[in-house]
Amino acid sequence: MHSGLTRIDVNELKEGMVLGENLYDSLGNILLGDGIILKKSYIVKIRTLNISKIWIKENIITKEIKEAQHNDPYLFETRLEAKKFMKDAMQGFYLNGTIIEKVLEIVNKLIEELLESDEIVISLGKLRTIDDYTLEHSVNVCIMSLILGLSYGFKYEELMDLGVGAILHDIGKMLIPQEILNKPGALTIEEYEIVKNHTTYGYEILKKSEEISDIAAEVALCHHERLDGNGYPLGKKSEQIRIYSRIVAICDVYDALTSNRVYKKGIAPHKALEYICKMVNTQFDNELVKRLLNCVKIYPVGSVVKLNTNELGLVVDISKANPSKPIVRILLDEKGNKVINYLEVDTNRNLGIQITNVFPKFEGRLSFT
């Protein structure tokens, strides 16, 4: 028995795992050395070697990381319930009394759970399935919006308006033909004009319901409006767009960028944030972007990151005050050598040290004994 190692099937290899043995080619030359962190290209190569199982190091996965992974995804049960409900609502073509009651109940539950949680940051560990996009998206945008609303100190009624508006922001898409919504590739100008109508359709649907506030209905209307007036449907500018719609707009863009769709792979969370930062003062206001950066857990505990020093490390802790600057345990030095001494870098305190790349978290299959 190799201590600290686990033997896994080559088909189960994931980027970021650490090799626990030397691998040789057919001539006996070392191909990949013990301790190397697997990249996608290495995994492809390993699978050509005609071996079925290899040793992987497990000792760099700590108990805390294992627990952090098990806590994902965030608000799991309520998410499931919310998704199931949204499916019914989206198939309904109108919002009847029961559905509205349920929207209010679910948003209320999400708010309560967020208030009870000691970790109000947006977890990015959640993987989604492609065909679930609209449902997953509505729920994600709702949770993210509520977290941002909490950061603004919104009162309960304000959070309810925000959450209801957020979960139903795209409800007007029920009236847009599926073949246009799911079309791979670019839309024609005519198709794009049709898609834009989901804002006014959503507003009209929600306005019919007495239980849904004007503010929530306005979110459906204005979540594609932009600070510089280049949004739609009304071309409203800065303060003309209420904070509720501005919050949902930024969450909508963030979630859309990071989501996998049939025709595109989602981009990494830190890249999505970079994109959003570039849109400050044109699409989104500065204050809101700052708050988003503070709320998003870009580097979940357990993710492997590359530093500008060329070192590679494992995220072991995140400060609530500044989630984008985690504590990193160095695994490989700048030359790619294993770091045996226990060395942790607090990127929040060492301002010269920056994260240049992030790899997904280790997932399953490793044993944590």
Instruction: Name the residues that contact Fe ion, by CB under 5 A.
Output: 170
For the stretch 128-133, contacts whose Cβ atoms lie closer than 8 Å and that sit 24 or more positions apart, written own/partner, are: 128/259, 128/260, 130/260, 130/261, 130/262, 131/262, 132/83, 133/259, 133/261
Residue 192 CB, nearest approach to Fe ion (Å): 12
Distances in Å between the Cα of 108 and the Cα atoms of 136, 156, 167, 327, 357 are 18, 9, 12, 34, 37
The least CB distance from residue 224 to Fe ion, in Å, is: 6
Residue 175 CB, shortest distance to Fe ion, in Å, is 13
CB of 198 to Fe ion, least distance (A): 6
DSSP 267: P
Give the nearer residue to Fe ion in terms of CB position, either 255 or 311: 255
- Least CB distance from residue 148 to Fe ion, whole Å? 17
Instruction: Identify whether 233 is preceded by a cis peptide bond (ω within 30 of 0).
Output: yes
Question: Which of 138, 145, 208, 144 is closest to 173 using CA atoms?
Answer: 138
Q: How far is the CB of 67 from Fe ion (least distance, A)?
A: 36
DSSP, res 239: G
Q: Which residue is nearest to Fe ion (CB)?
A: 170
Of 136 and 170, nearer to Fe ion (C-beta) is 170
Q: Which is nearer to Fe ion, 38 or 253 (CB)?
A: 253
* Biggest distance spanned by C-alpha atoms of the chain: 76
**Closest CB to Fe ion among 170 and 225?**
170
Three-state secondary structure string covering 323-343 = CCCCEEEEEECCCCCECCCCC
- Specify the DSSP class assigned to residue 283: T
- Shorter beta-carbon distance to Fe ion: residue 161 or 170: 170
Nearer to Fe ion, 42 or 284 (CB): 284
